[in-house]
Amino acid sequence: MAKYFDVHPDNPQQRTVAQVVALLRDGGLIAYPTDSCYALGCALGNRDGIDRIRQIRKLDDRHHFTLMCQDFAQLGQFVHLDNAVFRAVKASTPGSYTFILPASKEVPRRLLHPKKRTVGVRIPDNAVAQALLAELGEPLLSSTLLLPGQAEPMVSGWEINEELDHVVDAVLDSGECGTVPTTVVDFSDGEPEIVRRGAGDTARFE
C-alpha cells in the first residue's frame, strides 16, 4: 500500500521531502509532480524500480528513461554536450523539455538506448521535484506517468493514489499537475530533432 503525502506546491515540507528520499534510497518507487505532468521515479541504481516502471507502463527496451537533474552542473556529469548543444540546452533549462543526448560512463548501461547509447535528461521547473533532487543529491530516474491505454497522464495525486496504490511505494500530491508531457528534443547526432511536441516551445529547435 502506497504512502500518501500531501505536499505544498511552492514550499514543500522538508520533513516530508526527507521521508520520501529515505524511501527512494531504500529502493522505493514514487509518483511525483513535475512542471509538465506527474512522473514515476526511483533512485538511479534501483534495478527493481526500473523493472517496475517498465511493468507499470508496459515499456520495451527502446524506451528512453529520463534522468531528472537538479541543475545544469549535475546534468553535465551524465551526458556529453558540445558547445552548440550546451548553449541550446542551457538556454532551455529549467523547463518542460527532455533532451536525448549521448550518455557518459556515469549512466548505468541498463538505462541506455540499446543501439544509440543515449539517455534522456531534464531539469524541472517545479518546487517539489527540485526539493526531492536537492535532498537526494543525484538524478532521479523518471518516466512520464502515462498508463497503457490512456490518452493523457492522470492529473491529480489522489487519482494516482487510487490507481497505483499497490504498485508504487509513495504518492506525492501537490495539487493538479498538467496533462501535457515535456517536449522531447533529440541531440544525439548534434542537430536538434523534435521527437515529441509537448509543453515546451519548439520554436528555438525548428
Distance CA 60, CA 155 (A): 24
51 φ, ψ (degrees, to nearest 5): -65, -40
pLDDT in tens, 47-89: 999 999 999 999 987 788 899 999 999 999 999 999 999 999 9
Would you say domain 3-201 falls under CATH 3.40.50.2300?
no
Q: State the pTM of this model.
A: 0.94
**Residues 81 and 91 sit within 8 Å (Cβ to Cβ):** no
Strand partners, 16: none
Q: Which helix (H) or strand (E) holds 50?
A: helix 47-57
- pLDDT tier for residue 152 given thresholds of 50, 70 and 90: confident
Nine cell digits for residue 119 = 539517455
Question: If you average pLDDT over residues 150-158, what whole number do you get?
Answer: 86
C-alpha distances in Å from residue 86, one per residue of 2, 31, 90, 101, 199? 39, 30, 6, 11, 21
> Would you call 85 helix, strand, or coil by DSSP?
helix
What is the average pLDDT score of the chain? 94
Least confident of 108-117, 155-164, 189-198: 108-117
Q: Which helix (H) or strand (E) holds 148?
A: none
- Residue 61 burial by Cβ neighbours in a 10 Å radius (0-12, 13-18, 19+): exposed
pLDDT in tens, 109-122: 888 887 889 999 99
